[in-house]
């Protein structure tokens, strides 16, 4: 009895970590079934969506639910869960160790520091500006716009935890900086500065996952993620539109 | 030549930067940058020979899908780690921006025109990934069994 409880708990925990941090459903499905099969369950029944996981073991007549409330993006955790499940399959660690590892990695996986992320956002904006054929003279304005926008986005996401408002205010700041920079002749093209600046806010993970989920047959998760990506894109667009309307 | 070199360096850095934003493991960063460069070069090459936006995006996405599959096999990591950051340069940001701008200034017809372009490009990228997935499935069914 104990063992079955531990199996279900481990599988649900692994699934929860993966879905919370932005894995695609086909990968989650594969990993969870693999953990269950390697624990000696022939026919695990697992149903997962972006908002919850259900699992039952047929011969035990009982099932468990794991709701998933928050969704962030941290692909390192996804990769670590994947590594642990591979190690478990190869027989390098026991079920108990797998369970403990999962708990440990869920609290203590290092994230890149804020300053490094800010630098990364600025680099993304500036390089994309050049790739899309922007002028060298606009680099400084783009860097400032992108830095301000990304800091605002990061702060709201991490401290106030309001989705979509963070994208809206971030892109609003970017647009505002671009318009002001051009007005005081620090930059030349509002369009290119804004496009470059907004790029780090693009919802890349939901877009990619939506496509993959839908093609893999997880229609429920796919459309939920497509909606999420669409809302993020709309929030960004609204921020930019506000700048045009009132400046 | 300088133009090409600049594009390669910029694309590598952009992909790496987005990789850091979504926190992919350190081990995957370098491989991820090269997948991005490969995809963007495919796009640029096809655009220079006037293959059209849709076809260039589709084939670039296919390229990204296939090369990230190879990298995922090699480094034993999930495929999305390589997919997501490499996709970013292909995102139709310019068209989306123009659509928003047109709507904000009341040029609705022009806005719809741009919006249709955005949807077509997004669809073609999705199709590219889909074909890559098909190739992957066919490969795993025939070669590994």
Residue A103 and residue A119 in one domain: no
Q: Please judge whether A211 and B130 are an interchain contact, meaning their C-beta atoms are less than 8 angstroms apart.
A: yes
Smallest CA-to-CA distance from A157 within A149, A172, A167, A147 is with A167
Mean pLDDT of B113-128: 90
Chain B nearest-CA distance from A15, in A, is 15
pLDDT tens-place string over residues B14-72? 999 888 888 888 888 888 899 999 999 999 999 889 888 899 999 999 999 999 888 88
The helix/strand/coil state of A93 is: coil
Confidence band for B144, pLDDT divided at 50, 70 and 90: low
**Partners of residue A67 on adjacent β-strands:** A52
Task: Please identify, among A108, A142, A161, the residue that sits at the C-terminal boundary of a domain.
Answer: A108
pLDDT value of residue A196: 87
Contact between residue A181 and residue A145 where contact means Cβ atoms under 8 Å apart: yes
Mean pLDDT of chain A, nearest integer: 86
Residue A60 and residue A144 in one domain: no
Contact between residue A211 and residue B126 where contact means Cβ atoms under 8 Å apart: yes
Picking from A21, A27, A34, A131 by the largest number of B CB atoms within 10 A of its own CB, the best residue to mutate is A131
pLDDT of B86 strictly over 60: yes
Confidence band for B113, pLDDT divided at 50, 70 and 90: very high
User: Position of tokens 């077509």?
Assistant: B120
Contact between residue B64 and residue B86 where contact means Cβ atoms under 8 Å apart: yes
Chain A nearest-CA distance from B75, in A, is 11
Neighbours of A167 (CB within 10 A): 27
Mean pLDDT of B1-8: 86
pLDDT tens-place string over residues A162-211? 778 888 999 999 999 888 888 888 878 888 888 888 888 888 888 888 88
Picking from A73, A128, A132, the nearest residue to B22 by CB comes out as A73
Residue A140 and residue A233 in one domain: yes
Question: What percentage of chain B carries pLDDT values higher than 90?
Answer: 23
Contact between residue A231 and residue A160 where contact means Cβ atoms under 8 Å apart: no
Smallest CA-to-CA distance from B59 within B79, B34, B84, B41 is with B41
Residue A125 and residue A235 in one domain: yes
pLDDT tens-place string over residues A17-44? 988 888 888 888 888 888 888 888 888 8
Range of the domain at A79: 2-108
Task: Please identify, among A46, A77, A108, the residue that sits at the C-terminal boundary of a domain.
Answer: A108
Chain A nearest-CA distance from B130, in A, is 7
Q: Please judge whether A240 and B76 are an interchain contact, meaning their C-beta atoms are less than 8 angstroms apart.
A: no
Q: Please judge whether B24 and A79 are an interchain contact, meaning their C-beta atoms are less than 8 angstroms apart.
A: yes
Residue A128 and residue A50 in one domain: no
Total number of domains constituting chain A: 2
Determine contact: B5 vs chain A, CB below 8 A: no
Residue A104 and residue A119 in one domain: no
pLDDT of B94 strictly over 60: yes
Determine contact: B68 vs chain A, CB below 8 A: no
Strands in A52-57's sheet, in edge-to-edge order, are A45-49, A52-57, A62-67
pLDDT tens-place string over residues A96-154? 888 888 888 888 777 778 888 899 999 988 888 888 887 888 888 889 889 999 999 88
Picking from A83, A127, A205, the nearest residue to B14 by CB comes out as A127
Q: B87: which chain A residues are within 8 Å (Cβ-Cβ)?
A: 204, 207-208
Q: Please judge whether A127 and B84 are an interchain contact, meaning their C-beta atoms are less than 8 angstroms apart.
A: no
Q: B80: which chain A residues are within 8 Å (Cβ-Cβ)?
A: 22-24, 27, 75, 78, 205, 208-209, 212
pLDDT value of residue B112: 93
Task: Please identify, among A67, A93, A108, the residue that sits at the C-terminal boundary of a domain.
Answer: A108
Determine contact: A226 vs chain B, CB below 8 A: no
Residues 84-113 of B with CB under 8 A from A: 84-85, 87-89, 91, 93-94, 96-101, 103-105
Domain ranges within chain B, ordered by starting residue: 2-142
What six digits make up the tokens of A77? Answer: 């955790």
Residues 85-114 of A with CB under 8 A from B: 86, 111-112
Complex ipTM: 0.85
pLDDT value of residue B101: 86
Residue A120 and residue A236 in one domain: yes
Residue A118 and residue A235 in one domain: yes
Residue A100 and residue A190 in one domain: no
- What would the DSSP string read from start to end of A226-238? HHHHHHHHHHHHH
């Amino acid at each position: 009895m104990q063992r079955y409880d531990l199996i279900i708990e481990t599988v649900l925990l692994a699934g929860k970590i993966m879905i919370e941090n932005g894995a695609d459903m086909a990968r989650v499905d594969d990993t969870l079934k693999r953990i269950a099969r390697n624990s000696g369950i022939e026919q695990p029944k697992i149903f997962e969506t972006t908002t919850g996981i259900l699992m039952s073991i047929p011969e035990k007549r009982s099932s468990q639910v794991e709701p998933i409330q928050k969704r962030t993006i941290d692909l390192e955790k996804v990769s670590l869960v994947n590594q642990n499940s591979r190690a478990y399959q190869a027989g390098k660690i026991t079920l108990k160790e797998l369970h403990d590892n999962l708990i440990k990695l869920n609290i203590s996986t290092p994230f890149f520091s804020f300053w490094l992320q800010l630098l990364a956002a600025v680099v993304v904006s500036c390089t994309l500006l050049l790739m899309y054929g922007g002028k060298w003279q606009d680099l400084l304005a783009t860097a400032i716009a992108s830095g301000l926008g990304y800091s605002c986005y990061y702060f709201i996401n991490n401290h106030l935890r309001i989705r979509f408002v963070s994208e809206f205010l971030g892109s609003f700041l970017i647009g505002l900086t671009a318009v002001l920079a051009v007005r005081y002749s620090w930059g030349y093209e509002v369009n290119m500065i804004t496009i470059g600046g907004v790029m780090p806010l693009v919802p890349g993970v939901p877009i990619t996952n939506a496509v993959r989920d839908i093609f893999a047959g997880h229609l429920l998760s796919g459309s939920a993620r497509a909606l999420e990506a669409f809302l993020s894109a709309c929030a960004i667009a609204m921020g930019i539109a506000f700048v045009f309307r009132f400046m | 030549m300088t133009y090409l070199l600049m594009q390669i360096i910029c694309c590598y850095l952009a992909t790496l930067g987005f990789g850091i934003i979504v926190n992919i493991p350190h081990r995957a960063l370098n491989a991820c940058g090269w997948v991005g460069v490969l995809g963007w070069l495919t796009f640029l090459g096809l655009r220079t020979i006037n293959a059209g936006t849709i076809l260039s995006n589709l084939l670039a996405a296919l390229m990204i899908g296939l090369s990230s599959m190879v990298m995922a096999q090699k480094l034993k990591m999930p495929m999305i780690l390589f997919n997501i950051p490499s996709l970013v340069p292909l995102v139709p940001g310019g068209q989306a921006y123009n659509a928003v701008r047109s709507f904000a200034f009341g040029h609705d017809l022009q806005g719809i025109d741009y919006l249709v372009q955005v949807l077509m490009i997004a669809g073609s990228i999705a199709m590219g990934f889909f074909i890559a997935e098909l190739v992957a499935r066919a490969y795993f069914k025939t070669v590994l069994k």
